[in-house]
Structure 1
Amino acid sequence: MRQRETELVLATDREIALLQQQLGEKSASYTCQVSGPGLTSATVNQPTHVLVQLTDSSGRPYSLPLNVTAQLELVSKATRTTTKWPNESRVSVAMTSPSQYEVSYTPVSRGQHKLHVQVNDREINGSPFTVTVYPDPRQLGHPVRTVTGLARPYGIAFNSHQEMIVSECLGHGVSIFDIRGQKIRTFGSCGDSPDQMEYPAGIATDDTDNIYVCSQHKLQKFTSSGELIICIGRRGSKEGEFYEPCGVTLYDNQVYVCDRDNHRIQVFDLDLNFVQSIGSHGKGRSQFNAPHDVKFDTAGNMYVAEYSNRESASNGHQWPIHTSIWSGRRGKTAWAIRSSYC
C-alpha cells in the first residue's frame, strides 16, 4: 500500500539494514578525507600532491569510482579576489585505487592560492584549501638581464615609473634606466659644489619620485629629472654633519642615513631638517660599528647592516634598539658575512 505524506512509517533496525544492503554503499563529498603536503604549501615549478580518500558514511573505503576534480586559483593580494588559471595550475587527478585519488599540481606563480577539490561536482570537506606557494629557490639570484658599462655601481632605487636609478661611485653621478635596462638619462658630475657628487653611495626615492643621494660628507635631494632641490652636510660629527655617509632609506616620511664613520643613523624630514640621531660607536645593543645600510620592514622594524660587528640589528621604529635578530661571522660559508661594504 502506498504511504501518504501525512503518515509516519516505522521500520525496525533489521529492515533499515536490509534496505541499506539492497541500495549498496554510498559515498558523499562530506565523507571524503584529504591529506598530503600540497594542502598547505607548495613551491613554484615543483610538483606536489594531495591524496583524496573516498569513504562511505561509516568511514570505510568506498570501492566504486567517482568523479574527482580539482582546480588551483591565485588569490590577488590587492583585492583579495581569486583568479582562475586553467593552464597555470597544471592540475591532474589520477585514481591510484578504487577508493583513492591523487591530485597533482605544479604552480607557476608565487603567493596565496586556493585549491578546490570536488567529488561529483561538490566541494569535499575543508575545500577550498589555502595553499602558500613559495618561490623556487633554484631560481633565486639568477640574473634576468645584465646592465653593463657602469663605473662601480653602488646604490639602486626605483621610482613610480619602474625606472631603475643607480649611483655610480667612480662615475660621480647617477644613471637612470628603463625596465629593459636601457639608459634614459644621467645627472651629476665630480666636484664639491652642492649639485655635484664625489663617490655617490646610497640612493633612495620618495613618493613623488624625488631622489636622495649620499655623497662625500653630504646628503642631496634632486628632482626626478636631476635638478638639485637641497643639499646639506659637511664633514663633521655635529647634527646634520657626516663622515662618509653610506646607505639611505625613507620610511614614514623621514629620511634615514647611515653616517658610517660617525657610527650612527641620522634622521631627517623630507625637507632634510634634522630630527634625531640614533646610536653611538661600540658593540652594545644601542651602538654601531660603521653602519653601512638601513632598511625597514612593513611592521616598522629597522634593520641595520654593520661592518665590523658583522651583524644585522633589528629594532622597532622607536629608539632604542632592543634586539639583534641575527648575526654573522666573517667568512664565505652560508650565513657568514665577509664585509657589509659593496
Structure 2
Amino acid sequence: MNSLYKRNCLRLLDFQTYEVKHIINVARILKSAKKNKREIKYLKNKKIVLIFEKESTRTRCAFEVAAFDQGANVTYLGPGSTHLGYKESIRDTARVLSRMYNGIQYRGHSHHAIETLAQYSEVPVWNGLTERFHPTQILADLLTIQETLPLRKCLSDIKFAYVGDVRNNIGYTLLEAAALFGFDLRLVSPSQFWPKLTFFLKCREQAQKNNGNIICTENIEDGVKNVDFIYSDVWISMGEPETKWKTHINLLKKYQVNSKMLNLTKNSNTKVLHCLPAFHDKDTIMGKKIIKNNNLKFGIEITNQVFESNSKIIFEQSENRLHTIKALMITSLTQNFFL
C-alpha cells in the first residue's frame, strides 16, 4: 500500500523521513523520464484546483505544468477570484471544492487557513506557501542538494548555513528538514530574526536524535565555516510595508551573501542556493529602489557576482519545483503507485 495516498502536505513534519526520501526519489525518476520523453501519465482525468491568495511565478507554473504533463485538468483561482474567508468560510469552501476536485493546492497568508482547509477537505491539500511553512520549495531544494552531492555522501552528511531572516517560511521549513534528516544546520542571522525558541528546540532535539545539530548564531565566520551549502532568501517580502524595509536592511546588511562570506567558508566547493526571486541586481523596480535608498552595492541579500556564478544550481532548484510537486501529487492521488 502507498502510505502517501490521500495524505495532505501542509509541512514537512507531516511525514516520516523515509516518506520524504520516497517523494524525492520519485521526483528524480520522473525528472529523468520527462527529459527522456518516457513519462507515464498517472493522473489522467484528475482535477486539480489551485487557490492563490498570494501570486507566484514558480509555484503556479510548477503545479500547472506538473498537472498537464500527467494528464490532469487544472482550475486556477487567483487573488480576489473566490469568496474564501470573505463571503464563504474556509470550512465550507473545502467541502465544496473537495466534491469537485481530486486535489487542492493553497498558497496564501495564514497557515491556520490551510489547516482548516485540510481538516474539512475530503481530498489531499498541498501547501504552496503560507507565512509559516513552504514544504514544496524545500522538497525541491532537497532534490537539488541530493543531485549535487558526491556519490558516497547523503543528505544527513551535509553542513548547511541559512543566512538572513530565519523567521520566514523557508527558515522554518529548513528547521523541519534538519530535524528529519539530521544534518548540520546553522541559522546565521541577527538575534532579532531567530526562530521562536520552542519550535527551534523541538527541531533541534529531533535533529540530534538523528545525529545532526542545529544552531543559531550571529557570527558569520562560525556559521559558514566548512559548509557545503549557503542558502539565502529575499529580506523584503511583497506586501510588507516600506516603513519596515530600512530597519530590516540595516540589521541584515552584513549578512549579504558575497565573495567575502564565501571566503570565510574555507571550502572552495561551497555552493549557494536561493529560492527566487532574488534581488541580485537593479533590474527590478523593487530591487532598484531598495539598493538606491539603502546605499547597497552589487545586490541586496546576494551579490550579482555570487548569484551568477551559482546560477546553474539556483535555476536547477527552480526547475526541481516541477518534479517534486509532480511526485507529491502522484503519490497522494494514486493508491497503487509503486516504482
TM-score (norm 1): 0.23
Which structure: greater strand fraction?
A: 1
Which structure: greater helix fraction?
A: 2
TM-score (norm 2): 0.23
